[in-house]
Every structure is written in C-alpha cells, then in structure tokens.
A and B are shown apart, each in its own frame.
Chain A
C-alpha cells in the first residue's frame, strides 16, 4: 500500500516553460512534505519542503503547493532549465517518536533545449 504516489513516471518540457510535477498521498497524518531531486549515479538531494499549515512555499524558481483537502501537492519549476532534468521524488513525514520519510516512486523530468 503506497501512501505517497507519483502517477507520472516521466515528463518532458521545453526550456523556459513551466514544469509541474504532481504527488498524491493517502495518509492524513502526514504533516510535512518535501521534494528531493536525483541526478543519475547520485543520491537524492533535498530541494524544497512545506509544512501542512501552509499551502505554498517558494524558493527561487521552485514553488511547492499543498492542497490538504485533496491530499495533493505539486512542484512548479519556472522557468525550466536543462539542468533541471532529473528524477524528482515527493516525500512525506508524520511527526512522532520515530520520524521517517515516505517516498513516492519519482518522476523523470526532461527539459528540452
């Protein structure tokens, strides 16, 4: 039972356009959400996060939106650049004594020059 789902395994976008990556979750106990970025032959690296008390968090070209009622979050990248081509993992966390991240399966973003 996957509690964090990324239903699009891949996405292609033209350079300069907006990239929108989507993520759905099922566990209403999650209270913190993150995006990680992974290049080939490297480990994932933290990109941006959002607390469940917010509905938007922005960091430069990256914005994460959270819709708690729909249990949905999205990552917007604008403008997209070729260097953004990577696998993006959505992750969620629930507070508690053993805090651990639950990851989705990732979306491969390809930004075409």
Chain B
C-alpha cells in the first residue's frame, strides 16, 4: 500500500499545453510539498501546504498552481507548458513538526516537446 503516490509517472506533452499532476498520501501527515529536480539534479522546493493552507511558495512562475482539496491530496496544475518545465517533479509529505523527515512519491517525469 503506497504511502505517497503521484500520477502520472511519465508525462510527455507539447509546449503550450496545460497539464496536472496528482498526489495523494495515506500517512496521516498534515503537510505536503512539491519539489522539482532540475537538469542539474538539485531538488528544489516549489510549494508547501499545511492543513490545506499554503505556507511555502518559492519563486515559481505563476503558471504553476497547486491545489489542496484536503490534507491527503496536493495536486499541481501547470499552464502554458514551456520547454524549461521539463524535469522530474516529486510530491512529498511530513508531519508539520517533523519537516526534516519527508516521505516522497516516486516522481513524475515531465517532458515538454
């Protein structure tokens, strides 16, 4: 039973399209995150939600919009996809007071053509 699951695993799309990545956790955590692993392999935080409230919003283009319908879900919608958006996107979750111990999903490989 997967703890943090994200779909799809692979996403290939054309420039200019709009796409969404979904994430769900069944660990009972109250905080969820989106990380982006860029071409240089750094894992960089994009967003963090605590109890459905946005608490971290790093410098990310406003084409990226996270949505948290409840504590167990955090989806990422991307408008007008660009070539530079190609990356691996990881969802993660944690308890708010244990932000150091993240549980990651297996990642979504996004390729923008």
Contact = CB atoms under 8 A, between A and B. Distances in A.
Contacts of B104: 43-45
Interface residues on B, range: 20 to 34
B95 to A, nearest CB: 11
B42 A104 contact: yes
Given A105-B41, A106-B41, A43 B101 contact: no
Nearest to A87: B41
B56 interface: yes
A101 B102 contact: yes
A43 B45 contact: no
Interface in B61-92: 90, 92
- In order of increasing CB-CB distance, the 9 nearest A-B pairs are A43-B104, A103-B43, A99-B99, A105-B41, A105-B42, A93-B100, A43-B106, A44-B104, A46-B101
Interface of A: 2, 9, 32, 34, 36, 41-46, 49, 87, 89, 91, 93, 98-106
A32 B100 contact: yes
Interface of B: 4, 35, 40-45, 48, 55-56, 90, 92, 99-107
Nearest to B4: A43
A93 B41 contact: no
Nearest to B38: A105
Nearest to A103: B43
A98 B55 contact: yes
A98 B48 contact: yes
A99 to B, nearest CB: 4
B44 A103 contact: yes
Given A2-B42, A43-B4, A105-B40, A93 B99 contact: yes
